[in-house]
Structure 1
């Protein structure tokens, strides 16, 4: 009996400590970059299992005051941190799966989750069973209410803050990435192989796996849910594995996604309209090009990385000696990714289909994860050594903005630029004693570059 009571108390304690609105003390630390002198603000600075939202998605709330991130500070829940004060607040309860989507027009957060989540009692077998038998929900969080009530210390029941937008039909096998449309009425999600096969154009042969990671086989599809009504619409099926679904926040009904292989793809980048029309390669690539990490950066533009990380005449780690720590060193990827042809951070225009190279490092891996400002002024990229480079697109100048973020880090920086083009969010292990744990960091652009005037 004592054991039963103890277990019950543990469960109650776990759920009590996992409540939405729970506050955490500030860990904010401001330092100068030890290499470049840039202003860095670490919004988290202890090993809390932090990681930023992927660079294809928005990071800041619509009021510009909070950043949403993933963390282990409360198991399986999302956190928000105030950029000025460093205060942290738990903003989900009941867990989430896949991508966190922050609205730009309202103080809302959207994500997918498995209903009736019970982290205290779920086993591996339970997880598998539930994933196969229970369809995913799309959930909306009213962030303004969460922040206000949390600050006042008067949190209400979780249903006051979280609303179930709808349930994805189980036959769609929904999951993976999710993206909020620019109109913030529709959310896009990936559709599984069996469901996608039923919508695949007649005579289309599903792709096989590509590359040494044995990924990329299809078919997959994209569907959409109206977050106001719960209505479901099917968008498109393709013969390959879909990854990194993202919307164009400035152009409603426009979707960008990729053929995911874990490395080089036969044709990486794709775009399609919400009604299923206009399916085409975004940047038609040659066999010698290694295209990766596309990100919509403005109404008409997508940034992509055309990698130049492999030795001409053979695969190599570009002299870094990091072995298998970075992708692309396996000969099974083929001949792509060398600098025999132009490489670097490329900008592709969605309307004219024109593209150009905005910048490239002189040596090393080249730019890898890429981003830019919506006004077309800046482009940003990281490299294999976790350095962050800033490119002035008006003058074509490139500077090393920040360095020293440790190649031993658990993940890559994944830079994302703010909509006002004055700062960049990354994840970094610079402050970590174990050289691996990631923290949320803001890099502020140098004032002398921000004050530049152009003719």
Structure 2
């Protein structure tokens, strides 16, 4: 039967409000934390649906002056805010998908984008609407040009600032997480189930879903694109669902990723090299350990959270899921996540494979999303109630740095330490009247701590 296709385009706005380089007034505001007395710097302060990049990725531009974030000020676009002036500038046009990747060596931004407008097809005699498969492209933005022309009020069309690095072949089923390599020549992306199965080692049985969220089944894989030539290389296939691909910014070709189940994984953290060698668990865990939110923090180190959020002998008084700000209480997750075993913010050495516990809260959920300074001085984490804790790794001292960021917030704080180790970026609902809408916030490491010297 002859097929009839009906195409429905999802239009990309070309009005001024969607243009790259559009400027927004400063919302920069200093606020004193009501409990700790810490001076907080809110770079955005109105309810516009702001959110930071995930803590596995870089946040600051290479000149250290701008932070890249997402906001409904320009829906489905990326924005930048200047830490000193508070100026806000739209830095993409045409949308993006997945993770934003801010280069550390150059003033560049990389992300995934559909290569054409979305389409819907319908066959004759069939009322079912099906999406046409659309290949993804990796796009580069020249941030220096955007900032300069935006400040001068002389913006050109978007293609003067955005460059297509290459197109991911449809048969790879690329998408999801993306990460820029330490050499900033390659970008890694997730490969779909059918494509990954072709590269899975003979005799490897794909994993089934794990846990009550029915996630984690495989196989999936990782592939790479050269951002200068568009060349594609296959990296590795694994029998489970890959999540949170990240790289070591200080070691070219080193990748860290996770087995994503939406909660406890049989083996959460993994590492592999760009050529597919060295695939192994990063931190081998037992069924009693709930490992999550790994983040590369230095040349040889990865921070992880070993959760201690569940009661010993029972998940809660009712045996049911708590939900909301306190996930993971469902009994179907198994025996992990209690403090019957050591828990806390752990640091794993990629070379020696040794692990230390840097710190843990005395009660409550324990530290959840974690980060640290590249120089090895500090570690930082949040908890279920959105408190932010700073740890001096030399002394073991832990400081409640900031609180009041509202458990009702639309997302978690996701603290990320700055490259120079002097401040922490979070997303916070502290200023929101509805208790949900978040803003971009900077928390300084206390001056007294920065001045510390050690024998």
**Shorter-chain TM band:** over 0.9
Q: Report what 1:152 is aligned to.
A: 152
Q: 1:412 to 1:12 in 2, by over 3 A?
A: closer
- Is 2:312 the partner of 1:312? yes
Alpha-carbon distance in structure 2 between the residues aligned to 1:323 and 1:149: 47
Deviation at 1:35, TM superposition (A): 0.8
Deviation at 1:325, TM superposition (A): 3.2
For the Cα contact (< 8 Å) 1:95–1:117, is it kept in 2?
Answer: no
1:325 is paired with a residue whose SS is coil
How many residue pairs match? The answer is 437
Deviations 1:46-91 (A, max 9, x none): 1111100000000000000000001111121000000011110000
Alpha-carbon distance in structure 2 between the residues aligned to 1:191 and 1:79: 28
- Unaligned stretches of 5+ in structure 1? 1-10
Q: Report what 1:212 is aligned to.
A: 212
Structural RMSD (CA):
1.7
Alpha-carbon distance in structure 2 between the residues aligned to 1:129 and 1:232: 28
2:298 is paired with a residue whose SS is coil
Deviation at 1:370, TM superposition (A): 0.2
- Unaligned stretches of 5+ in structure 2? 1-10, 123-128
Deviation at 1:133, TM superposition (A): 1.4
Alpha-carbon distance in structure 2 between the residues aligned to 1:98 and 1:201: 28
Q: Report what 2:135 is aligned to.
A: 135
Q: Report what 2:3 is aligned to.
A: none
Which protein has the bigger helix share? 1
Q: Report what 2:6 is aligned to.
A: none
Deviation at 1:116, TM superposition (A): 2.7
Alpha-carbon distance in structure 2 between the residues aligned to 1:69 and 1:317: 40
- Is 2:126 the partner of 1:114? no
Q: Report what 1:183 is aligned to.
A: 183
1:98 is paired with a residue whose SS is strand
- Is 2:271 the partner of 1:274? no
Alpha-carbon distance in structure 2 between the residues aligned to 1:133 and 1:12: 18
TM-score (norm 2): 0.94
2:74 is paired with a residue whose SS is coil
Deviation at 1:316, TM superposition (A): 2.5
2:197 is paired with a residue whose SS is helix
Alpha-carbon distance in structure 1 between the residues aligned to 2:142 and 2:14: 23
For the Cα contact (< 8 Å) 1:138–1:167, is it kept in 2?
Answer: yes
Deviation at 1:224, TM superposition (A): 0.1
Q: Report what 2:436 is aligned to.
A: 436
1:237 is paired with a residue whose SS is strand
Deviation at 1:136, TM superposition (A): 0.1
Q: Report what 2:126 is aligned to.
A: none
Q: Report what 1:258 is aligned to.
A: 258
Alpha-carbon distance in structure 1 between the residues aligned to 2:198 and 2:63: 42
Deviation at 1:13, TM superposition (A): 7.2
Q: Report what 2:406 is aligned to.
A: 406
Q: Report what 1:230 is aligned to.
A: 230
For the Cα contact (< 8 Å) 1:38–1:445, is it kept in 2?
Answer: no
1:73 is paired with a residue whose SS is helix
Q: Which moved more, 1:27-36 or 1:199-208?
A: 27-36
Q: Report what 1:45 is aligned to.
A: 45
Alpha-carbon distance in structure 1 between the residues aligned to 2:217 and 2:433: 40
Alpha-carbon distance in structure 2 between the residues aligned to 1:275 and 1:248: 15
Deviations 1:402-428 (A, max 9, x none): 000000000000000001000000000
For the Cα contact (< 8 Å) 2:115–2:167, is it kept in 1?
Answer: no
Trace 1:50-449 onto structure 2 (pairs within 5 A): 50-117=50-117, 129=130, 132-316=132-316, 323-449=323-449
Deviations 1:299-326 (A, max 9, x none): 00000000000000010399xx965432
Q: Which moved more, 1:180-189 or 1:12-21?
A: 12-21
Alpha-carbon distance in structure 2 between the residues aligned to 1:360 and 1:444: 21
Deviations 1:210-260 (A, max 9, x none): 000000000000000000000000000000000000000000000000000
1:133 is paired with a residue whose SS is coil
Alpha-carbon distance in structure 2 between the residues aligned to 1:227 and 1:13: 27
Alpha-carbon distance in structure 2 between the residues aligned to 1:414 and 1:317: 29
Q: 1:39 to 1:333 in 2, by over 3 A?
A: same
TM-score (norm 1): 0.94
Detail structure 1 runs of 4+ shifted over 6 Å in the superposition.
Answer: 122-125
Q: 1:378 to 1:406 in 2, by over 3 A?
A: same
Alpha-carbon distance in structure 1 between the residues aligned to 2:155 and 2:317: 52
1:148 is paired with a residue whose SS is helix
For the Cα contact (< 8 Å) 1:317–1:323, is it kept in 2?
Answer: no
For the Cα contact (< 8 Å) 1:310–1:317, is it kept in 2?
Answer: no
1:177 is paired with a residue whose SS is strand
